Structure 1
Amino acid sequence: MSHEAPEACTACRRLKRRCSRNLPICSLCRRLGKDCEYPSHASQGSSSDGWTYGLFQGPDHPFPPQFFLDQDLHSPLRTTQLSWSSQPELKFHALKHLDVDTPTLYNEYASKVHIWLPMLSRKRLLDDGIESSEKTDACHFVLLLCMKLCIEKPNDVPSKSISYIAAKSLCAAAEQAGYLSLRLVQSLVLLTFYEICHGIQPAAFMTISKSARMGSLIGLYATQYSSNLFQDTPTWTASEEARQTWWAMFVLDRYMLMDVNGLPFSVPDPATEELLPVNDIDWDTGKAVASESLYTSSFSNNTVLGPFAMLCQASNILSKIQQHRMRKKVII
């Protein structure tokens, strides 16, 4: 994976030395023990800290307005069409806050978060990391920053954490620029996870709502009447990762509103024909196996439900109880 800044650092430019452009610190500054600073590439109106980002260059292919105006004129897009840009500004700003090597980040995330919320495909995550810049999702590095956020120990005020403010700002900047992809939805899900765990409300309620809307738009909750913005996912892994992500949103949404009355769910109930996530072991090894239905009278003898699938079943039952409780209060 290339972790390089687009331009030389301030010190190398001043000394007129060749800069390695390594992030977060170039080889010369590391050798001399100096602070390494790179010029900001945010647009006008952004702060030098990076907390308030201006308008970034959006994807090279803009969102098709006919999708909302006249869907008969819309042809489904390639799944990567709204997630790639020739201007790597999101990557540059995210890497400024990723002061940990990628293998260490993957391993620590797997042991602390993925073990019970396995929405990310390890295979696709690693593949995205070694892909050329022409194929990498622009929000891939924002997702890595959100992964780092979920495993680090925050300061006394979690809402003031540098990583949290940077991740939240970059998610907003990506949305404002017009990016739309599964990686951005997953970034918002991890942001919600952090906000729920640290009691950052109503931010968590708003973030899960945004991720649910965006997830519906990219087809995570598709019905026979839905219009497809994107073409069908080309592989079993990509399709299963989309399902795992939708279930992760569902679990967090129902958990957050477990003891709250009067607020609507952000994520809709699963459809009658909805499938459960595959078992965790096969998912982590990348083995393509059949999924079991959520609503079934019995499972086959060969069925092995993983912990996450059982958590999804429990969350679905919780959802029914919550709705029954709300209806009962209305009747009374």
Structure 2
Amino acid sequence: MEDHDGQERTTSEIAPQACGSCRKQKRRCDKQLPTCSLCLRIGRNCGYSAETQTNQPSPEEFAALKDQVASLEQLLRTTTQSSGSLQSGTNGTPNGSSSNSSNSLNGNSPASLLLSPGRPPPWTGPASFPSLFFLDSNAFEYERLQIQAPHVKVPPGALTALGSSAELREMIEHYFATVHVYYPIISKIRLYQHLANPLHEPGADIALLFLAMKLICSDIPEGQPPQTQLYLDVKSFYSYVEAQNGFSIQLIQSLCLISLYELGHCVYPAAYLSIGASARLGHAMGLHAKGVPQMLARPSTWTEQEERRRVWWGVIVLDRFINIGHRGKSFGSNDPGLDCHLPTDDAAWDRGQMLVAAPLSLSASQTTRVSPFARTCQSAHLLGKAIAHIDDKQLPLSYRFGEALQISRTLRALADVLPDDTASPELMDTNDLETSAPYTSMAIAYSGLLTLYDAYSCTEQASTLHLAGEAGPGAEHGRGTGLSMGEEQLQMQQASIHGLEEISSRVLFLARRVRRNVDSKGVAAVSPLVVDAIYQAAANYAWYVRETSDPTCGERLLELKELLVLLDRRWKVAGEYLRIVEAAEFYLQSAIR
């Protein structure tokens, strides 16, 4: 090559590293001696310091380096083997070798889901997440940044736990024939399209969803706690995917199914905390509103958009239901606005058929036909109104009784519509939907009415509740009712006393329909969300027996208790409710004696 004076330079003399000036300026250097081309062209001093030149290591230094590498490898191998030995008393061995046990989730400890004995983990650190999304969402949207979904590797043993392809498909079909009937938050057509696509590599989020579906469909052996090995493994798997920033719609769907399992089997406080976490996760993803930063990519199809709407409604249903007996706590999810749309027709959505979804404000109309899950969402929404009203200790007396009457009328109007929905011709053509799906919405509506009436039926209890509020201006008259506050209080108390008896009889009628459905199709498709209404009605009849000694009330109480015993085979929370009723009976009988 030639320099700037036209003199030819030799290329045989090359420095072992860049010159000091190029390294300082972080510029590319051709390492020519005695001066690099860049320094020669711009007239800059060029020097190759002897201090920075790397010399070849001596044989002694090279041998010492090999010893250090060997020591580090031995330390890593020992640490990995120790972690493997902690997985299970039957899986780990002193030398870290794996035993002949299966990698199935049901046979190993939760740690076996994340680490296979004797091998380093096949995944790296968590995928990067743009912190700007939480630190300054306005800047995040201004820069039009998008969150790339990471590919989280499936931990060892997770796919093995799902069994063969035939077993996996059988589990999925069982899920859609049972749980999906009353809690349809997973798109059936999208899931089957995912399974049929040979080009789509399954990720950890899909494997987690399958395991959560398997968990919610599993039966607990008699006498065994609900914290089974599968439950512990799925919880551990979820924590791993979340720690890897594997945020997807499948992640929150899995958490909803885990929460439903915990709620149905009375796993507390895990159920309360998991439902709160699902609400927080939904808010972070932006499922609760459109005009907020979205963590997920824009949906590509109407079916996917509807699926996200159903997932968020599924969170609201669980969030309202978990607060029925746990009073005085705020909800984890926002209250949906009246312009929020309910889920569309369940059967049409499963087929991928696009239909119009009714707004929440119009869904109470008796001329508007909505799907069973939409009625469940509406019932849960009104249940939340009743719970929030009871828990609001700052509500002035001038508003309290009028608002209670309004909530009662709205809930009763919905309860009156629901039996007509169950007999509609549309539902008659959908087999399982006709017999089991509407029961969930009816039970939740009855739970809301019984909860509201219980707070206002007793004079002393109602007085204690009302003293928490402060009378403001115009306290003598109710808001918009034309009645005085005393008249509203009397009207609400009378409505509560009569309402407890009427709604309890409605629950008994619903319980008989559930019993016939169980006798004909089994207990697998019964929703755990129907159990609370049965419990509250049974508790009311136990009180009636004590107060009136009416044999009819005693027969109805026995009928409801028998159903709780039957449902305990599927959901352990029914057995817990039964024990509460029997304890109350024992207390009442002791008080009589």
Answer yes or no: same fold by TM over 0.5.
Answer: yes
Q: How far apart are the structure 2 equivalents of 1:165 and 1:297?
A: 40
Pick closer, same or farther for the CA change 1:59–1:212 going to 2, 3 Å.
farther
Q: Is the 8 A contact 2:103 2:160 kept in 1?
A: no
- Per-residue deviation, residues 82-126 of structure 1 (Å, max 9, x unmatched): 2423xx234x43223213622201111012200100111001111
Is the aligned partner of 1:263 residue 2:329?
yes
Is the aligned partner of 1:252 residue 2:315?
no
Q: Is the 8 A contact 1:76 1:228 kept in 2?
A: no
Q: How far apart are the structure 2 equivalents of 1:120 and 1:59?
A: 30
- Per-residue deviation, residues 142-163 of structure 1 (Å, max 9, x unmatched): 0000100111112333443111
The one-letter amino acid of 1:107's match is E
Q: Which secondary structure does the structure 1 equivalent of 2:219 belong to?
A: coil
Which position in structure 2 is the counterpart of 1:96? Answer: 160
Is the aligned partner of 1:138 residue 2:276?
no
Which position in structure 2 is the counterpart of 1:26? Answer: none
Q: How far apart are the structure 2 equivalents of 1:160 and 1:117?
A: 22
> Which of 380, 389, 392 pairs up with 1:315?
380
C-alpha deviation, 1:139, in angstroms: 0.5
C-alpha deviation, 1:246, in angstroms: 0.8
Pick closer, same or farther for the CA change 1:190–1:47 going to 2, 3 Å.
closer
The residue correspondences of 1:180-259 to structure 2 (distance < 5 A) are 180-224=247-291, 226-259=292-325
Which position in structure 1 is the counterpart of 2:572? Answer: none
Q: How far apart are the structure 1 equivalents of 2:387 and 2:249?
A: 29
Q: Mean Cα displacement is larger for which, 63-72 or 147-156? A: 63-72
Q: How far apart are the structure 1 equivalents of 2:110 and 2:347?
A: 44
Is the aligned partner of 1:127 residue 2:193?
yes
Q: Is the 8 A contact 1:76 1:229 kept in 2?
A: no
Is the aligned partner of 1:331 residue 2:469?
yes
- Per-residue deviation, residues 128-173 of structure 1 (Å, max 9, x unmatched): 2234575544311100001001111123334431110111110011
C-alpha deviation, 1:232, in angstroms: 2.3
Compare relative contact order (CA 8 Å, sep 6+) and give the higher one, 1 or 2.
1
Pick closer, same or farther for the CA change 1:151–1:208 going to 2, 3 Å.
same
| Higher alpha-carbon Rg | 2
Q: Is the 8 A contact 1:60 1:84 kept in 2?
A: no
Q: Is the 8 A contact 1:84 1:135 kept in 2?
A: no
Q: Is the 8 A contact 2:113 2:158 kept in 1?
A: no
Which position in structure 1 is the counterpart of 2:235? Answer: 168
Q: How far apart are the structure 1 equivalents of 2:361 and 2:122?
A: 44
> Which of 341, 350, 355 pairs up with 1:275?
341
Q: Is the 8 A contact 1:209 1:266 kept in 2?
A: yes
Which position in structure 1 is the counterpart of 2:21? Answer: none
Q: Which secondary structure does the structure 2 equivalent of 1:290 belong to?
A: coil
TM-score (norm 1): 0.77
Pick closer, same or farther for the CA change 1:83–1:105 going to 2, 3 Å.
farther
Q: How far apart are the structure 1 equivalents of 2:211 and 2:387?
A: 34
Q: How far apart are the structure 2 equivalents of 1:299 and 1:52?
A: 55
Q: How far apart are the structure 2 equivalents of 1:59 and 1:272?
A: 43
Q: How far apart are the structure 1 equivalents of 2:158 and 2:358?
A: 38
The one-letter amino acid of 2:333's match is V
Q: How far apart are the structure 1 equivalents of 2:348 and 2:194?
A: 20
Q: How far apart are the structure 2 equivalents of 1:37 and 1:322?
A: 48
Pick closer, same or farther for the CA change 1:297–1:148 going to 2, 3 Å.
closer
Q: How far apart are the structure 1 equivalents of 2:171 and 2:254?
A: 15
Q: Give the RMSD, CA atoms, in angstroms.
A: 3.0
Q: Which secondary structure does the structure 1 equivalent of 2:392 belong to?
A: helix
The one-letter amino acid of 1:274's match is C
> Which of 113, 116, 119 pairs up with 1:50?
113
Q: Is the 8 A contact 1:59 1:84 kept in 2?
A: no
Q: How far apart are the structure 2 equivalents of 1:255 and 1:240?
A: 22
Pick closer, same or farther for the CA change 1:48–1:60 going to 2, 3 Å.
closer
Pick closer, same or farther for the CA change 1:130–1:158 going to 2, 3 Å.
farther
Pick closer, same or farther for the CA change 1:321–1:50 going to 2, 3 Å.
same
The one-letter amino acid of 1:95's match is L
Q: How far apart are the structure 2 equivalents of 1:198 and 1:73?
A: 44
The one-letter amino acid of 1:314's match is S
- Per-residue deviation, residues 242-271 of structure 1 (Å, max 9, x unmatched): 011111111111111112212121121112
Q: Is the 8 A contact 1:58 1:178 kept in 2?
A: no
The residue correspondences of 1:149-164 to structure 2 (distance < 5 A) are 149-155=215-221, 156-164=223-231
Q: Is the 8 A contact 2:110 2:233 kept in 1?
A: no
The one-letter amino acid of 1:249's match is V
The one-letter amino acid of 1:77's match is Q
Q: Among the aligned pairs, what percent are the same residue? A: 29
Which position in structure 1 is the counterpart of 2:180? Answer: 114
The one-letter amino acid of 1:270's match is P
Q: How far apart are the structure 2 equivalents of 1:187 and 1:134?
A: 20
- Per-residue deviation, residues 270-304 of structure 1 (Å, max 9, x unmatched): 12311000111111211111111011287596x53
Pick closer, same or farther for the CA change 1:279–1:170 going to 2, 3 Å.
same
The one-letter amino acid of 1:89's match is V
Q: How far apart are the structure 2 equivalents of 1:58 and 1:82?
A: 16
Q: How far apart are the structure 2 equivalents of 1:180 and 1:281?
A: 28
Pick closer, same or farther for the CA change 1:164–1:52 going to 2, 3 Å.
farther
TM-score (norm 2): 0.45
Q: Which secondary structure does the structure 2 equivalent of 1:273 belong to?
A: coil
Pick closer, same or farther for the CA change 1:236–1:51 going to 2, 3 Å.
same
Q: Is the 8 A contact 1:51 1:165 kept in 2?
A: no
C-alpha deviation, 1:71, in angstroms: 2.7
Pick closer, same or farther for the CA change 1:131–1:50 going to 2, 3 Å.
same
The one-letter amino acid of 2:383's match is L
Pick closer, same or farther for the CA change 1:76–1:120 going to 2, 3 Å.
farther
Q: How far apart are the structure 1 equivalents of 2:334 and 2:239?
A: 23
Question: What are the ranges of 5 or more consecutive residues in structure 2 without an aligned counterpart?
Answer: 1-98, 394-464, 471-593
